[in-house]
Amino acid sequence: MSRYKAIVAYEGSLFKGWQTQVDGITVQDSIEQTLSRMEKKPVSIVGSGRTDRGVNALGQVFHFDSELNIPIDRFPLAINNQLVDGIHIKSIEKVDDSFHARKDAKAKVYQYHIEMGDYQLFERNHVYQLNKSLDVTMMEKSAQVLIGTHDFTSFNTTPLEVINNQVRTIYSIQFKIVGSQLHIEFIGSGFLRYMIRMIVMTLINVGLHKLDENVIEEFLLAKEKGLVIYNAPPEGLTLMKVKY
């Protein structure tokens, strides 16, 4: 029995999120079912964290234990040939038995893409079709207060009864205009449910001049559930990389 670390990409619109659900197909379910068929016994995988329905991934990481005798360079292809459409194993490597995809993760990199120009039909599942211009300079200025270690209670929907400590660290937030799109990259120690999407929608409203640029700081200091009601659509968000 060996432990493997895998990097996987998936199309979020085709699945009901990463984590196993009572109803609806998820990415985790699909991969586990494929590995179980190959192993001819139940196989469980452990992801670096969950992504919600509609959120895409280019660099999600999971680990699993396997007795399959497949050359490591052919392992991804062997799994991909049996996976459902919308999931692609990018790489697999053998790791120490102590490796844990979630517990060993040091940082996660997400990008949120916003279309400021005309509607782009073929990118509808990978970008938020805002189709309005934004004051990016004001958004960047407003976002600076988020960098560092803070209590993000106001910027997520995870109940305090579930996770009492809602302090997280954001190492950087980068804004980049690519053609008619705005790409916002977040690098942080970890993110609570809807945290990035709530931050992004608040920043969008700042960029549309609907909210004052100081509102981010006000919400951050308030540490109050239900204060932020803005939540950007999931399709604009992509998990790019998990750092170890």
List pLDDT tens digits, range 76-118.
Answer: 999 999 999 999 999 999 999 999 999 999 999 999 999 999 9
Q: Is 8 helix (H, G, I), strand (E, B) or coil?
A: strand
Q: What is the mean pLDDT of residues 234-242?
A: 99
C-alpha to C-alpha distance for 48 and 63, rounded to whole angstroms = 9
Distant-in-sequence, close-in-space partners of 108: CB < 8 Å, separation ≥ 6 = 48, 49, 187, 188, 189, 190, 191, 239, 241, 242, 243
What is 133-201 written as a DSSP string? ---HHHHHHHHGGGSEEEE-GGG----TTT-S--EEEEEEEEEEEETTEEEEEEEES---TTHHHHHHH
Domains along the sequence of the chain with CATH = 2-95 (3.30.70.580), 107-243 (3.30.70.660)
Is 90 exceeded by the pLDDT of residue 215? Answer: yes
> What is the set of active-site residues?
52
Please, is 68 exposed, middle or buried when counting C-beta atoms within 10 Å of its C-beta (0-12, 13-18, 19+)? middle
pTM greater than the 0.85 cutoff: yes
What pLDDT score was predicted for residue 22? 81
Q: What is the pLDDT of residue 6?
A: 98
**Is residue 24 scored above 90 in pLDDT?**
no
Write the pLDDT tens digit of every residue in 147-161.
999 999 999 999 999
Is it the case that residue 219 has pLDDT exceeding 90? yes
